[in-house]
Amino acid sequence: MILKWAEKREKDKMMDDLGTFIDNLINERDSLADKVRNFSKDEEIAKLLKENENLRINSLHTLSEKERDEADAFRDEHWEKCKGNMAYLLTGASMGTAIEVICSKCKTQKDITDISVW
């Protein structure tokens, strides 16, 4: 008799735990459904486009991949040769921005402008 009673108590507790677990799952499901309902793809895209535009407007210049590679090579070369740092010289031209790199130690100057992006 006592054994049956203990068994029933254990079973009731497991049913309670299961009930709580199911309630949590239902809550999570409802919260995710809300998120999906309120997600606006167009709004997110508009936000990102605006952010991108801000970056473009407020940057002095965005290096092309070719310019980046040449600048990196120049920096590495002069760091090894003369421990010089690199300065950038940006010149606004009518078509685009001319870019030169200068070694702070040996004063070597190199035009790395990539006119293919003009």
Contact residues for Zn ion, defined by CB under 5 A:
78, 82, 84, 103, 105-106
Task: Give the residue among 7, 26, 117, 14 at the shortest CA–CA distance from 63.
Answer: 117
End-to-end CA distance of the chain: 91
When the beta carbons of 25 and 106 are compared against Zn ion, the nearer one is 106
Counting Cα atoms < 13 Å in the Cβ hemisphere of 7 gives 4
* CB nearer Zn ion, residue 45 or residue 106: 106
In the complex, the smallest distance separating the C-beta of residue 111 from Zn ion, rounded to whole angstroms, is 16
Of 113, 70, 109, the closest CA to residue 95 belongs to 113
Closest residue to Zn ion: CB criterion: 103
C-beta of 78 vs 113, nearer to Zn ion: 78
- The least CB distance from residue 91 to Zn ion, in Å, is 21
Tokens of 51: 């952010």
Nearest approach in angstroms of CB 52 to Zn ion is 36
